[in-house]
Chain A
């Protein structure tokens, strides 16, 4: 029995859901977001949670559950980066907000992969926006007088209501620019100097761990757990996800990453388009929210709706984000707005599927419709990037998800009261 339990745990950990079956999504326009391109009338076959075949002439086994997608659009499940999914319920209810910690000595070591809540009411809402996976991302919990450079580590999560953790430590989150300068003492130079000192400390600590534990090293500014957490960052194994907007700040971050040999992801990058060739040359991907076009601060004076297009045209790998917390379902519209402002439609879809999967090292499992990948599939009644379309089926690891949320239950409770008597049973 214990062995069976362990096997079940292992199955969970490996991503094969209990009770998986064979599902065939047939007859739809399949947008694979992979080498297969588009298939006008294709079939996606999913067995035991994995995609086993994608094509125009896929034999459907007799025992397969059929989802008829004739006249519909079939895409990979969407991947939302920079979310609070699993970490928050109501922002003003502190006990439900686990995005960040105010604990001293816990900065880089904060790990959003712990304490995730798969029963969050935000998750079905995001799923009804076609989102099947997300990057649960820590946020700063600033307290007066507290110096805190890193927000902590992001985690990849799955949104099917099972234990959420997919992969821990997919990025180390750091805000630079105005907010980072403020935390470092009020100036950009202070933060850049402090960061270089910290990276040097981490490298020093790494080779003197035993001496550190014996108390024979100089004292470090960071706690032991923060130093440990930053080792994969200085080794270039864990990407440093830097939120930054001003063109000059982006250049400074690129230079820091180059000289410190860090793997970098940029987030925000309002003025990224102004230094797009530099970003492309550094091979650094960018997470953008394309609708953020206001000069909201002095570091974002050059914000524009054309940022995503210009970055993509310069050869930068772009992922498009949603609108945060409860509003992740708008991610696909954000991609649509980037397309309306010149981004290629396929690049727009890639920016919410395969690109975030690649950026966070998950493309072996998710992000496109290819044999061997997890069976995350969405069937749409129209263009997935358009406000005029809705998902009609969402599968995660081959399991059709309920097309309901707390909001749809509320709607359905009150809908009869507003329908004309002929259409509904008005109370």
Chain B
């Protein structure tokens, strides 16, 4: 079907055409500018009446724990949060007594949609494991919006998530940040104007995958040579485009290269490096590589050994996205600790609990609770108001969306979870979840529990999950 036919079949032909034209014009002028997204978000929050959650204990995501609080939501954004707020006229009251409220949970490391359920070769779309540098691929082109796990994650309070390519490659490709709303297309889930990330991977995975194919990288030194070669090419590419711009765009522009475009976006600071890296020594090598080529690492992911260099990571302003419980499957993950994230936090760093898993994403609150409890048992002193940042404000920061989500500060998107109990407890259930002030999950109301298309008519769906 040609473009014209497509537009004819679309009810919004004019709007789409306009968007596409603007997009392609932008792409011609500056192909690697993050602003010129050729696959723009079509997500628009529905209008929703104002409401107030009254009487709950609120963890704001900015450090505070406020008992018996009121949360006011209006026009899709947080209007106010406080202990003694009056309920304005026209606001629907949600009874929060005995319950807890947090910002929407944010997962900084997910493969939902790119490794969907059920696992089949047809849907195994997370690793373009054919070359160590596939910076040209974009995770969003693999996301299957019908992955039933999006809905399960919603029931776990997850409102935003970053979908990454896998870790087979040195450069795995671009990540995409999604709002966890039901949608038929990935564009319908894309977090509007969220920056892109670039998935990079250290250590055992790339050298195992390519060593087994009899090609480089087969060692860690091969890994590092691979990064540096790529950055040399990227710097060269960026210079050519800068020169063309500086010369008043005279003559033909340099030929676009999807791979180098993404890497050059990193060098310009527009695309955020999300670096899978377990060992402390390798993280420090990666920091040196970044310094050599003048880019910044936004977050180390998995990072089981981050606790060994916690003050350095705090000083470098690099987030650490990790687990409490996963360790030991590989040599590079042997030193995993329950207290890893809390130790990063105690050193003044940006600590994140992530999932990397379709089961854990439903329980990030519990994983944070395990880390917090272990740390306090070990003599650290981490209050709930701080620990909630590991699954709200800090992942928002790592994903470059902290100006819009991650806390309940006035003006932020009203991504909110109402929990049945202390959210760090195993017994806490997300009773209600809102995204941009719109209800997307309600434990007591089947209208907000709809499973993906895939599960319709399948056996065993009469039980809620």
Contact = CB atoms under 8 A, between A and B. Distances in A.
Contacts of B465: 293, 303-305
Contact of A418 (B336, B343, B374): B343
Contacts of B310: 414, 417-418
Interface residues of B, number: 57
Given A291-B363, A340-B429, A389-B373, A410 B335 contact: yes
Interface string A275-317: 0000000000000000111111110111111100010000000
Nearest to A291: B359
A294 B307 contact: no
Residue of B310, B366, B378 with most partner-chain A CB within 10 A: B366
Contact of A388 (B118, B336, B425): B425
A294 B461 CA distance: 12
Given A333-B366, A414-B307, A390 B374 contact: yes
A2 B359 CA distance: 55
Interface string A2-37: 000000000000000000000000000000000000
Contact of B325 (A271, A327, A417, A419): A327
A327 B323 CA distance: 12
B118 A301 contact: yes
A390 B338 CA distance: 12
Interface stretch (A86-94, A181-189, A202-210, A367-375): A86-94
Contacts of B377: 390
Interface in B306-338: 307-308, 310-311, 325-331, 334-338
Nearest to A89: B328
B424 interface: yes
* B interface SS class: loop
A91 B117 contact: no
A411 B378 contact: yes
Contacts, number: 158
A418 B347 contact: yes
A247 interface: yes
Interface string A320-342: 00010111011001001101100
Nearest to A387: B369
B310 to A, nearest CB: 5
A306 to B, nearest CB: 6
A86 to B, nearest CB: 14
Contacts of B427: 336, 339-340, 386
A407 interface: yes
Nearest to A307: B463
A387 B426 contact: yes
B304 to A, nearest CB: 10
A423 B381 CA distance: 10
A168 interface: no
Interface in B63-89: none
A271 B461 CA distance: 10
A295 B148 contact: yes
A360 interface: no
B221 interface: no
B11 interface: no
A40 interface: no
Contacts of A93: 331
B331 A92 contact: yes
A425 B308 CA distance: 16
A300 B343 CA distance: 38
B137 interface: no
Given A304-B460, A415-B378, A385 B426 contact: yes
Given A294-B359, A301-B458, A418-B346, A91 B426 contact: no
A122 interface: yes
Most chain B CB within a 10 A radius of its CB, from A325, A333, A412, A418: A418
A224 interface: no
A102 to B, nearest CB: 19
Of the listed residues A327, A410, A411, the one surrounded by the most CB atoms of chain B closer than 10 A to its CB is A411
Most buried by A among B369, B463, B464: B463
Interface of B: 117-119, 148-149, 152, 204, 307-308, 310-311, 325-331, 334-339, 343-344, 346-347, 358-359, 362-363, 366, 369-370, 373-374, 377-380, 422, 424-429, 454-455, 458-461, 463-465
Interface of A: 89-93, 121-122, 247, 271, 273-274, 291-298, 300-306, 310, 323, 325-327, 329-330, 333, 336-337, 339-340, 385-390, 407-408, 410-412, 414-415, 417-420, 423
10 contacts: A122-B328, A296-B119, A297-B118, A337-B426, A340-B426, A387-B424, A387-B426, A388-B424, A388-B426, A411-B343
